[in-house]
Amino acid sequence: MKKNKNKIKKIKKPWPTKDAMEQIYEMKLWGSNESDFYSGIGSHHPGIVHPYIDVLISFLSSFKNSIVVCDLGCGDFNVGKELVKYTKKYIAVDIVADLIAYNTEKFKEENLEFHCLDIAIDDLPPGHCAILRQVLQHLSNAEVQNIVSKLTGFKYVILTEHLPAGNFVPNKDIISGQGIRLKKQSGLDILAPPFNFKVKKEKQLLSLGLDDRSGIIVTTLYEVF
């Protein structure tokens, strides 16, 4: 019998991700600007951010009654701040406590909440739709599996991932941190082994080619059973 190369390895808690993400912001490994916190070019490049915001606004505006959105891995909130007014409630979550404290002081809306949670370990806030924008790509398969198992609590999941262009072997494992699977010519596909996320419908909302040709950024809407 062939071994499953994507078999999920069990790792001891606590996950190392919290320390890794804190270090990324402390050392400004994703770059910097005038802010104390900067979530990288993927959260600030107009060619990446503006099309994403447009398709998310279109989706959120399609409901007769506004829905509750959980932004899992909200980062510096440069993107999320544009979506809040289209929701009944917007719950923004990140693993870095200082970042959440900063966001809480900077962004204030009646329907906006910030929570510091490790989404691989902690219970997720309830809502209609979960957004994960270039979050899972930084996490190990063990952590992704823990998160995916909780996404069944949402009716909709909007997932954005940086993927290789063309065919690739999905879900090669990595150590959680700054890097992503692209270095292994891999990308995340939560419908494929070892995650096997079951959905009712799947719809690609956006696919963006990058100027340096280092893959594509794909946003997919999943309707969950």
Q: Is a pLDDT exceeding 90 seen at residue 34?
A: no
Write out the two tokens for 194: 């070892």
pLDDT at 82: 98
| Residues 182, 200 contacting (CB under 8 angstroms) | no
Fold of 17-223: Rossmann fold (3.40.50)
pLDDT at 21: 87
**Residue 121: CB partners within 8 Å, gap ≥ 6?**
13, 14, 15, 146
Q: Is a pLDDT exceeding 80 seen at residue 182?
A: yes
Mean pLDDT value across residues 158-179? 94
Residues 114-139, buried b or exposed e (16+ Cβ, 10 A)?
bbbbbbbeeebbebbbbbbbbbbbbb
pLDDT at 105: 96
Q: Is a pLDDT exceeding 70 seen at residue 3?
A: no
pLDDT: is 47 or 6 the higher one?
47
pLDDT at 11: 44
Q: What is the DSSP letter of 15?
A: P
Share of the chain above pLDDT 70, in %: 92
pLDDT at 211: 65
Residue 1 banded pLDDT, cuts 50, 70, 90 = very low
Rounded Cα–Cα distance for residues 94 and 63 (Å): 26
Q: Is a pLDDT exceeding 70 seen at residue 8?
A: no
Mean pLDDT value across residues 142-171? 96
Per-domain residue ranges of the chain: 17-223
